[in-house]
Structure 1
Amino acid sequence: MRKFIMLQLWLGILIIGGYFVYKRTTGKDEYLTPPPASMETVPLEVTLPDNYVKVFELPDTLSFAGEPVPLHMTDVRERLDREIHVNSYWHSSTIFLIKRSNRWLPLLEELLKENGIPTDFKYLSVIESGLENVVSPRQAVGFWQIREGTGNDFGLEINREVDQRYDPIASTAAAARYMLKAKEKFGNWTNVAASYNMGMKGLADELEEQKTNSYYDLLLNEETSRYMFRLLAIKEILEHPKKYGYDIPQELLYPVIPLDTLRVTEDIPSLVDFAQARGLSYKELRLHNPWLRRGALNVRKGKSYLLRLPKGHVEVLPTDNQTDALNSGN
């Protein structure tokens, strides 16, 4: 029996081996025949466009507040080159700067003009805060990043109920007063902008020690050394966004919100009730008046405040309950 099983095993091996030899010699084995062209693996070829990583050329000329930037200086060109590329490729941040700029820069430009400040200074608020009411680790606040002492020096009201550093209009006026004072001290707008970063005394000390009157000739700490060049880069990118790869349709930019103003001369015991009496939520009231820091507003004798409200919401809605709420705070 064992011999019979072994004989069958060897017979099976011979038959299978013979089959494969026959197929190989005839070339008819589907497993040994090359696959049709339609089944062949085609190597994937990826061709990157020439401008996949784009290097930007510097503008031939550049100025800030009417003062030329000395682009003939090697280090000036290279420092500007760095900031243009850093900010151009910081995509998410720069996209939102462009979007917010559509809403806020026209207002800031108008306010600066009214206060005798070159409109290029609107870009200073962009690099200071990104046009948001942020608070820095050093407790500098708002669009213009004003610290409490500086705010008090330049006429802002800062207390538990009111902090005008959060008010784009009032804080722009205060920043303009600083700039005018700095212009009297330094004589040119470039130094004014640099002093906004390191303070008037800090810049004055460096100018005196290094015996120059030009920011571009100073050896400074890294932050202030980069400050003017980031300002120039943001100006260049926001004025020529398509050149730097930002082709954002107008409808995707943040629109200007139409607002009216209401002068308040009496206490408002409840800002929630005050807002609701005008068909607004408390959140909406605070969004348009971020300088309000608590739920009520006390108005000293002879003092008044301007509230900004969406169009159509200045007048009190004609219901007795809402009128009572304004007067009582209940």
Structure 2
Amino acid sequence: MIQKKLLFLFLWLSCYISNSLIARTPTDTLSLGNLKVAVHPSAKSILEKEWAMLGANKKFVGMMKEKMRLFFPLIEPILKEGNIPEDFKYLCVQESSLNPNAVSTSNAVGYWQFKLETAKDVGLRVNKEVDERRHIMEATKGAVNYLSRNNTVLDNWLSTLLSYRLGLGTLKKMPLATDWSGKSLIEVDSSTDWYVLRFLAYKHFWETELQLNSEENNTSAAPSMITYTQVKGKNLMELSDEWKVSYDDLKKYNSWVLKDWVPEDKEYTLYHPSNVSIFESKGPVSMAAQNTVLTASIDTNKLYVEKEVPQEALYPKKKHKPILSDKVEMRWHTVEAGESLTSIAKKYDMKLPDLVKINGLDMSSTINLGQKIKVSRKIPMLELIAEQLDEKAKKEPVMVNTPTERIEKIEKPEKTESDEPKVRIKSNTGSDYIDPAVSREITIRSENSEKDYTPSQTTPVENPISKAAEKISSSLEIKAISIAREKTNSTSIHLVKSGETLFRIASQYGITVQNLLDWNKLGKNPKIQVGQQLKVKP
């Protein structure tokens, strides 16, 4: 029994090694549709180098095979409908590695690497709402239009392939346009354009790898592409709730939608792989699995404008997110019209499962207009620092601004012993009198007795000047504070001064920071500037 197993294992390894060696050796003749391409010995070394570079990174090979095995079922029917050889699907791999956000040095974008002018020429829409160069199906339709038009003129698929890089006008001026026209057999050598040789290397390598992969593995359990067609004029947030799919995943795999709304004037297909996280739901989820596609990795979402502008302006720099502290703030959110759990989670930078958990809900729960939803957020470090500075400022001496002057709080003079002469009360013919006071204390001495009163009999006398100053200061302070409060209560607009923060302004008017944010529509990461006018009343 063991010998039979060892024999089977030996035969399997022999077949695997044999197939691998076949994959590593480019054949003498390749094909492109109905065209036969003979490979001259001088071109074989170039093809082998291309193959070596493709196979150097095993992780990359595995990732690309997975993408191709899943993307190709969307590309192949469109190529077939346009009478384009199926082999051209490898051109999409060569151009972008099936990355919808790939951008070349010449500002070609998307799966098939169209420049803005060329994209519009082949019927693709690129504006502030959508960029069809990043939609796998729409971009492939554009490629079909381009290849069909060029092949009608050149009458040779290899010439048409090269025109994808050089352009039809340039290729028509080259001798090979005439030499290859109408031919069914063409030989390529080391002098052939590198773009053609690279495509042949890509086609041979990936075709062989996919064939080996299908023989070794059972792909029946592979993820499938979920597609949706009735999406005219719909919002991605609403659709994510309806389909029980994360908004982030839906946006990620449909980066061609530059805003959250699908245009109403054209039928589009939204898609995502079936292996994304699906929310648990008690009700049925309507989705139709079609084809087998896994999207490429998404880098960023870039916006476009309708008018002709330099391509650099279409790719704004990514804004840095604020640094968050470990302090968590809990608050209540009142549900408004058009909001969903997903949109609320996004508004407060929360994960949807966390929002659902803290409110005791589940993924299939519905929310009502006016309902209170508990939300949490990590407080930005800058906000914490501002609060600490405000607390520190409160401990400093109070400065009151009046319309005419700034009055500082006058400190009361400390009572200290004085070296000035003391005043005595003298008695003369039965009547007493006091000399003018020059000290805060006086000592009473009788003319009939040389005995002085003891310290316990010393009577302090208040300084009338100091007392008057204190009364004036207190009166002015109360008046100034009263004027400031009247001014604060009567105004509804605050003019931002240097050094002020939202927290300080809110404290000044007895309102919350959230009131300021809502009344002035400052957003999640508010910034204020000196001279800016802020509403302090609703």
Partner Cα distance (2:221, 2:150) in 1: 34
Q: SS at 1:195's partner residue?
A: helix
Of 125, 129, 149, which aligns to 1:181? 149
Alpha-carbon deviation of 1:167?
0.5
Please state if 1:78 is matched with 2:40. no
- Whether the 8 Å CA contact 1:135–1:145 is kept in 2: the answer is yes
Partner Cα distance (1:67, 1:297) in 2: 41
Give the match for residue 268 of structure 2: 306
Higher strand proportion: 2
Q: For 2:245, give the aligned amino acid.
A: L
- Whether the 8 Å CA contact 1:129–1:144 is kept in 2: the answer is yes
Q: SS at 1:258's partner residue?
A: strand
Partner Cα distance (2:213, 2:261) in 1: 46
Alpha-carbon deviation of 1:276?
2.5
- Whether the 8 Å CA contact 1:131–1:143 is kept in 2: the answer is yes
161-170 or 251-260, larger mean C-alpha shift: 251-260
Of 58, 62, 68, which aligns to 2:30? 62
Where relative contact order (Cα < 8 A, 6+ residues apart) is larger, the structure is: 1
Alpha-carbon deviation of 1:242?
7.9
Give the match for residue 109 of structure 1: 76
Q: TM-score, normalised by structure 1?
A: 0.67
Q: For 1:304, give the aligned amino acid.
A: K
- Whether the 8 Å CA contact 2:41–2:189 is kept in 1: the answer is no
Q: TM-score, normalised by structure 2?
A: 0.43
- Residue by residue over 1:28-73, the C-alpha shift from the partner in whole angstroms, topping out at 9 and shown as x without a partner, is xxxxxxxxxxxxxxxxxxxxxx99x9793322431112211122x3
Please state if 1:156 is matched with 2:108. no
Partner Cα distance (1:67, 1:258) in 2: 36
- Whether the 8 Å CA contact 1:182–1:200 is kept in 2: the answer is yes
Partner Cα distance (2:262, 2:178) in 1: 51
Q: SS at 2:90's partner residue?
A: helix
Give the match for residue 110 of structure 2: 142
Alpha-carbon deviation of 1:111?
1.2
Partner Cα distance (1:322, 1:144) in 2: 42
- Whether the 8 Å CA contact 1:164–1:170 is kept in 2: the answer is yes
Give the match for residue 91 of structure 1: 58
In the alignment of these two chains, the number of paired residues is 262
- Whether the 8 Å CA contact 1:163–1:292 is kept in 2: the answer is yes
Q: Percent identity?
A: 25
- Whether the 8 Å CA contact 2:124–2:132 is kept in 1: the answer is yes
Partner Cα distance (1:197, 1:230) in 2: 12
Please state if 1:191 is matched with 2:159. yes
- Please, which runs of 5 or more residues in structure 1 have no aligned partner? 1-49, 316-320
- Residue by residue over 1:208-267, the C-alpha shift from the partner in whole angstroms, topping out at 9 and shown as x without a partner, is 7x97437867997xxx82222222222222222289899874469963323232241x4x
Q: SS at 1:68's partner residue?
A: strand
Question: In 2 relative to 1, CA 280–313 (structure 1 residues): closer, same or farther, beyond 3 Å?
Answer: farther
- Whether the 8 Å CA contact 2:26–2:204 is kept in 1: the answer is no
- Residue by residue over 1:73-132, the C-alpha shift from the partner in whole angstroms, topping out at 9 and shown as x without a partner, is 333333323323332334333322211111011221111001111101111001111111
Question: In 2 relative to 1, CA 74–278 (structure 1 residues): closer, same or farther, beyond 3 Å?
Answer: closer
Higher helix proportion: 1
Please state if 1:240 is matched with 2:208. yes
Q: SS at 2:230's partner residue?
A: strand
- Please, which runs of 5 or more residues in structure 2 have no aligned partner? 1-16, 275-284, 289-334, 345-538
Partner Cα distance (1:235, 1:219) in 2: 18
Question: In 2 relative to 1, CA 166–309 (structure 1 residues): closer, same or farther, beyond 3 Å?
Answer: closer
Partner Cα distance (1:166, 1:218) in 2: 35
Q: SS at 1:306's partner residue?
A: coil
Q: Max radius of gyration: which structure?
A: 2
Question: In 2 relative to 1, CA 305–211 (structure 1 residues): closer, same or farther, beyond 3 Å?
Answer: closer
Residues 1-330 of structure 1 correspond to what in structure 2 (within 5 A)? 56-71=24-39, 73-133=40-100, 134-207=102-175, 212-213=179-180, 225-241=193-209, 249-250=217-218, 255-264=223-232, 266=233, 268=234, 270-297=235-262, 299=264, 303-309=265-271, 312-313=285-286
User: What root-mean-square deviation, in Å, do the aligned CA atoms of Structure 1 and Structure 2 show?
Assistant: 3.7
- Whether the 8 Å CA contact 1:183–1:192 is kept in 2: the answer is yes
Partner Cα distance (1:229, 1:309) in 2: 34
Partner Cα distance (2:63, 2:220) in 1: 10
- Whether the 8 Å CA contact 1:63–1:69 is kept in 2: the answer is yes
